[in-house]
Amino acid sequence: MDNGTINFLLAGVGGQGTLLASDILAEVGLHVGYDAKKSEVHGMAQRGGAVVSHVRWGKRVASPLCERGTVDYFVAQEMLESLRWLEYLRPGGTVVLSRQQLPPTSTVFGSDVYPNDDQVIAEVSKLAGKVLALDAIGVAEGLGNRRIANSVLLGALSSELDLDPEAWITVIESKVPQRHKEANRKAFLAGREGQWELLRNP
Amino acid sequence: MKSLMSGNEAIARGIWESGTEVATAYPGTPSTEILQNVRLYDDIYAEWSANEKVALDVAIGSAYAGRRSVAAMKHVGLNVASESLFYASYTGINAGLVIITADDPGLHSSQNEQDNRHYARFAKVPMLEPTDSQEAKDYILRAFELSEQFDTPVLVRTTTRTSHAKSVVALKDRQQVEKRPYVKNAPKYVMIPGYARLRHPVVEERMVKLAQWAEQTDLNTIEWGDRSLGIITSGIAYQYAREVFPQASILKLGMVWPLPSEKIREFASQVSRLIVVEELDPFIEENVRQLGLQVEGKSIFPLIDELTPERVRDAAIGANLLSGNGNGYKPSVGPLPRRPPVLCAGCGHRDVFWVLRKVKAAVNSDIGCYALGVLPPLDSTDTIGCMGASIGVAMGMRRGGLEKDNVAVIGDSTFFHAGLPALATAVYNNTPMVLIVVDNSTTGMTGHQGNPASGETLRGENISRIDIAAVSRSMGVKHVTEVDARDLDAMETAVRVAIKSGETAVVVAHTVCVFVTSHNRESYTVVTEDCNGCTLCYRIGCPAIYKSDILDAKTSRPKAWIDPKQCVGCGLCYDVCARQAIEPGAEKVVMV
């Protein structure tokens, strides 16, 4: 935390809903009284490329981008992507890690090697103070819809922030279609109430 | 009311609040969402024009006729529209005219990272540059006031970060703006040399008045702090400067052309060290130096690539303006597998590039999703320049004595954007040039906007598509073939016959965009016992095909696996598999 600003980073792969999840996170900040900014890039990133979104809450936020080494909460929607953006994490910061693996095509037709789970977790744990790992897709599928996985991740993230859960739920419900509201609420609560594994907590 | 908005959403809101009645654009990252959001307001006529020049001409005509008008485009779009910008600078307007240029430092989705602030000086028009979404909205209204006060088009420049970042915006109501009557005035609106000659002094006089106005306007503000360091900055760079130098004095330029010379001199005289923090070119820096002031800019901060707060901080540390170091993290894994954008699973362009790989002709390609055909494993593109360049470059390579066959590849939207004059040139000069139009009837890369070939306008009206094959024939192309690119044999034959014809030939390859149309099949599956891990299907570069954990007993190579969640049933893998180890998905029952 720098100048009273809370920095978040969300990283995933085009199609995983990184942008909507970060929209929700920015709106939650606004909802609870912070100034909030967020930034990501559209365009080519939609085509299965790496996607990263920065979200910042604070009294007055200047830059919409976080600096390397300043991110308090890093939500990685995919294992490899957690490593790609790890340098943004503040030493001792918190990582919410979805165990989903989406190997890029270069690991299929080329010689690139997708890192295994143990490698990823060991590397993330080197820098993170706390790692919440979860099978967000599995939890979401258990609730009947894999597309609500991001609400599971936001739920896990919310357990680390001292805010009224209703603030999160209100914003999530305002951003999803009526027929998916109930499922997203359940997914959020599943994530919040510990459908995750604490891998590191010094 | 307050709302979290992207810069583009805020600009759209500003367009609405300003009473604008006509807005035009050609889609292009990072500007596309401006018109998509303008469309949500029923009281504005909004259109996708075939290219940026047409968009600007329409907006200029509408402003002449008396309604506030906007044209929006990405930075390279203004190159296309530049000829219109220059005459509009001379004619001036009637009702206000605002032109939005969305630059792309860092080339997130562009072929270059040109700095369009130069256009303001070049075309002699004012330019405003917002630093966040609130200003993005407000500056549209300010730009209209300026436009009407000084009888000039006004440029508003954003960059990818201001276009796509979201921040808080306070909303207002729509202004009621009276339509201005159109009065015929040929010496003002007809730029024949005799009249244009008379307009040039008017333009120069306008610039003098605008420079005086720049001294007084609250668009340019000084935030006094510690006077040992003074920073001149604008746009998103202001936010980074504020972040990295919280104590410094800052001259924030909301209007980046013309610059307020006296205000800059005054600011410089009050600070011990003067620096400019700006993205891309030393535009402000060079102008400040011309005032005879001692200033640093690009000797500290990078000229290339988009700025970020850490790039600003690292540069400042390097110049002893700050002390500090990073978080000390050194990765112990890596290098990581890259994850560049890829053609979507089921993308019809993959069929075309698979065939072109086989044909082994040089490929002069163009701007659109199909540009991804250059990446491995398809790796079947030789040149890409700018919108429409494929055809001219392909003709040039023939005239220039290329030793092998070549084909031009262009998408449907790009064909109408800048392909038509090039095709006319080919026919006119009887150039043996093969053009493959990859027609998926949408403007894919920017997010599936309509175009003359798509059958739908920005306002959601269904219109009849302009038939690309018919257009080619009517332009005099004798060799025109239409083919379903999914039929690989037919596609290959069409391309080979076209090359052999030795004349101007057009192959319209109908392809599927999975966001818009469907293959109407369930996902395909690998018959694991028949797959021997030969890797052939890996070479189509489909993101739905993975190496499985199962190794072939003989070859020890991983057998293929198709992710049913990603596969949309195109069947290219089925077509390329030599062992019939892939099972087609069932045909989808289409509910009527």
pLDDT in tens, chain B (592 residues): 889 999 999 999 999 999 999 999 999 999 999 999 999 999 999 999 999 999 999 999 999 999 999 999 999 999 999 999 999 999 999 999 999 999 999 999 999 999 999 999 999 999 999 999 999 999 999 999 999 999 999 999 999 999 999 999 999 999 999 999 999 999 999 999 999 999 999 999 999 999 999 999 999 999 999 999 999 999 999 999 999 999 999 999 999 999 999 999 999 999 999 999 999 999 999 999 999 999 999 999 999 999 999 999 999 999 999 988 755 677 888 789 998 889 999 999 999 999 999 999 999 999 999 999 999 999 999 999 999 999 999 999 999 999 999 999 999 999 999 999 999 999 999 999 999 999 999 999 898 999 999 999 999 999 999 999 999 999 999 999 999 999 999 999 999 999 999 999 999 999 999 999 999 999 999 999 999 999 999 999 999 999 999 999 999 999 999 999 899 999 999 999 999 999 999 998 766 5
- Both tokens of residue B319? 């110049």
Interface membership of B343 toward A (CB under 8 Å): yes
H or E stretch including B409?
strand B406-411
Burial of A181 (0-12, 13-18, 19+ CB in 10 A): middle
Question: Is A41 part of the contact surface with chain B (CB cutoff 8 Å)?
Answer: yes
Spatial neighbors of B386 by CB under 8 A, at least 6 apart, are B76, B79, B111, B367, B418
Residues of chain A with C-beta less than 8 angstroms from the C-beta of B541: 105, 109
Phi–psi pair at B22, nearest 5 degrees: -135, 130
Nearest to B69 by CA among B58, B77, B82: B58
> Distance between CA atoms of B55 and B49, rounded to whole angstroms?
5
Q: Which of residues 48-107 of B touch A (CB under 8 A)?
A: none
Whole-model pTM: value is 0.96
A197 Cα to chain B: minimum distance (Å): 23
With CA atoms as reference, report the closest residue to B113 among B7, B35, B30: B30
Beta strands in B75-188 (DSSP E): 97-103, 127-128, 154-159, 166-170
- Phi and psi at B320, nearest 5°, equal 60, 25
Q: Considering Cα of B361, then B362, then B368, then B374, what sign does the dihedral take?
A: positive
Interface contacts A/B by beta carbons within 8 Å: 175
Please give the Cα distance from A165 to A28 (Å, whole number). Answer: 10
Q: Distances from the Cα of A15 to the Cαs of A51, A78, A174, B79, B515, in angstroms?
A: 9, 12, 21, 32, 12
Q: Which of B524, B575, B570, B533 has the alpha carbon at shortest distance from B345?
A: B570
Calculate how close chain A gets to B307, using CA atoms only, in Å: 10
Taking the Cβ of residue A49 and every Cβ of chain B, the question of whether any pair is shorter than 8 Å is answered with yes
- Within 8 A of A45 by CB-CB distance, chain B residues are 108, 341
> Which of B4, B327, B342 has its CB closest to that of A105?
B342
Contact between A96 and A73 (Cβ < 8 Å): yes
In this complex, is the C-beta atom of B310 within 8 Å of any C-beta atom belonging to chain A?
yes
- CA B176 to mean position of chain CA atoms: 32
Tell me, what's the ipTM?
A: 0.95
Q: Name the minimum distance, in Å, from the CA of A86 to any CA of chain B.
A: 9
B401–chain A nearest CA distance, Å: 34
State the first-to-last Cα distance of chain A, in angstroms, to the nearest integer.
19
